[in-house]
Amino acid sequence: MNSESGAAASRPAAIKPLCREADEMKKVELFVVGNSKSGTSALCDYLDQHPDLCLSDPKEPNYFADDFTHAFPEGAFYRLSPSEYERCYERATPGQKLVDGSACYLYSHVAAQAIYDYNPDARIVAIFREPVDFLLSYHLQMLRNVAAEGEVIRELGDALAAEADRKEGKRIPAGCRVPAMLFYRDRIRYAEQLQRFIDVFPSENIRVYLYDEFRSDNAAVVRDVYSLVGVEPDFHPSRTEVNQASRTRAPRLARAVQDLAHGRGAMGGLNKAIKSVVPTAMRRRVLGSVTDSLAVAGKGEIDAALREQLMTEFRQDVVEFGEILGRDLLEHWGYATVGGAVK
């Protein structure tokens, strides 16, 4: 992880409330905290279609994850000021509830407490995916990312083998500003991640879903989240496509597109100009199409021996996460007899 002391201390204790509505100052009420590559982009799109909700723009401002953000004006983890975070909701209309879709909050060691300090009545939503499938998709996304938060090792097994060195500051890709994003095993410590939110928020404010169940019946999940945040649950959003894991064929151009999307660096002025004339939904569709056109689809599979090795390694993590949820995830995710183990 990046330094967690000092960075967290740099955040003002009282974060400026957002979106003045008459004499009332509104705060973000719903946080989709992760997990990445687990349907959160699709869920956030469904939420943003609801007339009573407004998703942050960009979707992942990462404002409360001080142990991941940095001061360099590039990539998605540039540390926002309070006024910059407020501008993420400048398109909100009176009566809308605000949504933050930053998937890194789940990984962050400080975000849960920071969100609670900001709004103790906030609602928290998380989606979790079978660990090996998640890591395969996550690694492909890291290959697609810009250099500031991306990967250069092409094979997942080799990237996992490099993890110990990287935690010692070795073999970090040139230009990488967020080495913690490459600590793959830390990404699947689901019990520890969820526990940070359970420790500060009441249970009725938290919803946890499994990725495969969201994929099989996303309408039920979306209705449940609508109800959680207190908006009309029977609104029917249009169908959306979940992001597909892939590499990128033109890293420099992809970086420019992401900087444009986030208003970073030299693209900041152009981003503001486009925002002033192009509706948010259209802007996201166009930028998404350009990004997809630069992508090279990943093979979406993993060597059987490596899968077996990783499932054996992660089995205890699955046990601990299942205990928190009160569910038999060994059976649900196919870990019951992995490595010759007996449930």
DSSP track, 63-94? TT-TTT-BSSSSSTTB---HHHHHHTTTT--T
Domain boundary among 302, 318, 333: 302
Residue 193 in tokens: 């991640």
At residue 8 the predicted structure's pLDDT band, cuts being 50, 70 and 90, is very low
146 and 85 co-located in one domain: yes
285 and 257 co-located in one domain: yes
Q: What is the CA radius of gyration of the chain?
A: 20
272 and 336 co-located in one domain: no
pLDDT tens-place string over residues 128-141: 999 999 999 999 99
257 and 337 co-located in one domain: no
336 and 194 co-located in one domain: no
Average pLDDT for 304-322: 97
Domain count, the chain: 2
Average pLDDT, the chain: 85
Contacts of 311 (CB under 8 A, 6+ apart): 131, 132, 334, 335, 338, 339
Average pLDDT for 292-318: 79
297 and 316 co-located in one domain: no
283 and 311 co-located in one domain: no
The parent domain of residue 152 ranges over 8-302
Whether residue 2 is contained in a domain is answered as no
Q: Is the per-residue pLDDT at 3 higher than 90?
A: no
180 and 214 co-located in one domain: yes
Is 21:32 a contact under the CB 8 Å cutoff? no
At residue 248 the predicted structure's pLDDT band, cuts being 50, 70 and 90, is very low
Taking the CB of residue 304, how many other CB atoms lie within 10 A of it? 8
73 and 212 co-located in one domain: yes
